[in-house]
Structure 1
Amino acid sequence: MPSWTRRPTSADQAPGFTGVARFARPGDDAATRLREGDIAVVELADMDRSQAQALVERKVRAVVNAAASSTGAFPNLGPRVLADAGITLVDQVGQGIWTRLKNGDTIRIDGNRVFKGDVLVAQGVSQDDASVTASLGAAEQGLATQLESLMANATNHLHRERDLLLEGARVPYLSPRLRRRPVVVVSQQHEWRTDLRRLRGWIRDHDPVLIGAADGADALLDAKLQPHVVLGSLDDLSDRAVRSGATVVVTSTTDQGTGGAERFERFKVDPVRFVATGAPSDLAILLAEANDAPVIIEVGAAKNLVQMLERGPADVASTFLTRLRAGSKLVDAKAVGHFAAESMPVWPVLLILLAGVVAVAVAVGVTPVGQDWFDDAQNWIEGLLP
């Protein structure tokens, strides 16, 4: 009986590896459909740690970046996260990748080249452990220049948003039930999962207002926590966040309406407008501060200067000035989570004390003196009865 075998194709014999290309630009729903083994096609200049970690968690095989993953403006850690996870990174392939590929195409990566079939569709820079280390070293040398740029951007942002930052102008007021309460602002940034997990007990005990900033709304829902407010631009907020039952605050940079009316009508939601520039997490902090929150706990806050600078010049200026505005009200969730983890509920202590009392009573009861005490106690109790 003849044996049939599949004839090898040119793709089988070609060098490199293949995978399904999945577009994962900001606001693209395909980003949430990344599967293990996919090749993520992104456009992330100065990729930060949280963006890279999201790709690692999706278990992609490779990342093709239309932009430069590290421009050298500051030492961003996204490429290092990918390198440590063993994920191939092809950098700076250019804008043509979006027109030469379709979402779901099977592509092949060979070094710094990207093929569709036998056709070369893009060519960039293949990043490895050595090149990532060299880029980080060069960027660290330029950090002083970046700090000077930060101060210039902060001055421009203060001039542009002076009324907002100094007087709280244009910040919407929330319903009375959400005012004058502790607030937790959640964004999917630096170590946000750990922050949120360590805060669960504190949230349960203090019943704060939960604000999901952009994809932070989805983080709360994934953690089985009901957000009271979701805030972000139209592209930032998922359908799940909009229909979650929370107050929807839509941010925009111009006073020309929020747009997206059909989307909100479909979910029977009447959004609140917030006209301002800045990162969603910063605007959420300003919203909480203007609504008289006694304390504002930030989940996903940068824990050092490098992490803060990863957000980009415009967002860093917004973050810097927002923290000056919030002042002592703003607390990092990492600190609150530490003290919440150190504290112990009262009832376990009471149980331990009760167990100790019972153990002592039993030990005394088996001695002659203990028997006399119990007999006297029994006689005393019987004497009280009629």
Structure 2
Amino acid sequence: MVTHTDLRREDFSATIDGKPVDLFTLRNGRGMVARITNYGAKIEQILVPDRDGALGDVVQGYDGIAGVMGGQASMGSFIGRYCGRIDGGRFTLDGVAHQAAVNSPPNTLHGGQRGSRFRVFDARQIDGASLELTYVFQDGEEGVPGTLPLRLVYSLGDDDALTIAWTAVAADRTTIANFTDHTFFNLSGDLGSSILDHVATIPARRYLALSDSGVPTGEMVEVAGTPHDFRAPTALGARIGADDRMLRQGHGYDLHYVTDGPAEGATGQAPVLQARFLHPASGRTLEVLSTEPGLQLYTGNFLEGKAPRDVGKGGILYTKHSGFCAEPSKFPNSVNIPSFWTSFPSTVLRPGQWTTGSIVYRFGVA
């Protein structure tokens, strides 16, 4: 039994900013499928089986490039050059103050007004299970100094894992870099249904406290005794309505956890488990592994079921809490918080310095 909307390559064919846009299909030897467009390096579809073997689509996305461009900007995107928020869009490098483009007043969010989620990547399908995407952030782009070439490789393994691996280098000037993936998941295969029945496990004992504008302040808060403690398996909806400032401010979970992962995403370093999700009815599971020191949990709080922005594949409306994101990265706003750099990697790159990392989405059944 197959339950999903077929995506057609021709519906994603376009020329944007003078560059060709396409839809690329990856398959492994077990029947898993991932479809990715090079506009924003967005994951538009992932097909995996449930416990009965029924293949279902477990990520929210759109039927064609028009929907992608008019839809939720972050949905499925690879986020750069700097994911999360930068306080006021301001930061200082080598004594020089910089002002990045403010697109979520008063802050810069997910790379600014035209970060990587709005850019066309150069694409090369390496083989049937892997895709290379490249983009060069220019010196001064979105108000950020330094040329930063970025290379991504998406690959499917026969363990039903999709790996996103990146390398980037500060080509000329001191710059900043912080990357993540912003795929919206719904393991039920019914992409308009609530994800509040999904059971989450996040092995983290601390989270980053946020200012009133949603920017990390530098304080780390213990999860014990709070609605943010997912160290034991807990349904996403079990405490989402609790009287808690972070939940009220985010209209649900939108919080960065300090995971028990590695302190640095060094070349060759193996990713470690940062979160596990289970949809009890279908049996589908998702394990999120990464080289990064933190994980943002977001429960689709600003999906609103509005046309055309939230009309997804097959005409499904994406409503509040119909998708969740698990976004590994270095800490948001850490460019402005030197205390984060003592035990965790900085997001500042000096000329000639490389940054590497990876995110693994591994699917299974319970």
The two structures have a TM-score, normalised by structure 2, of 0.22
Greater radius of gyration (CA): 1
The two structures have a TM-score, normalised by structure 1, of 0.21
The structure with the largest helix share of the pair is 1
The structure with the largest strand share of the pair is 2
Q: Which has the higher contact order (CA 8 A, sep 6+)?
A: 2
